[in-house]
Amino acid sequence: EKERISLGIKQLAKDSVGDAAASGDLRKNAVVTCEVVAVKDGGIDVKLVDHDGVETFIKRSDLSRDRDEQRPERFQVGQKVDARVIAFDKKTRKLQVSIKALEIAEEKEAVAQYGSTDSGASLGDILGAALKNKGGE
């Protein structure tokens, strides 16, 4: 019997995406810090700060919740931004992150923690109470 071992270059190379996936840091809804690598018309190329070699593209519609803030030009190469993992496919090794999803989640969390900014009182209730107080003086 011949005992042979096969080893390819891919097995020797560091698998940064696989390592990040195995650590559980790239699970859905995880918040990651990214550094802008390139600014393009359709969005920005970013690399994950905590995981060397893991890069992805944030499309224009995922740059911000507000339409006027969805301009890729507002980002500079080297700028660090926080984003939320919205999808990670282990099979195709594709990672999708979104700044917009992070903003929406933070707003929902703030509303849940502090309640709605709406006091429930109408303008008429507020003005009516103010006029009664002024009329009573």
> 59-84 pLDDT, tens per residue?
999 999 888 888 899 999 999 999 99
Predicted TM-score of the model (pTM):
0.68
Alpha helices (H) in 9-98, listed in sequence order: 9-12, 16-23
For the domain 9-136, what is the CATH code?
2.40.50.140
Q: Which residues of 53-68 are buried (b: 16+ CB within 10 A; e: fewer)?
A: ebbbbbeeebbbeeee
Q: In the chain, which stretches have pLDDT less than 50?
A: none
What confidence score (pLDDT) does residue 16 get? 67
Residue ranges of the domains in the chain? 9-136
Tell me how far CA of residue 38 lies from CA of 43, 46, 58, in angstroms. 9, 7, 11
Residue 54's contacts (CB-CB under 8 Å, 6 or more residues apart) are: 16, 17, 20, 26, 47, 48, 95
Instruction: Let me know: does 78 contact 67? Beta carbons within 8 Å.
Output: no
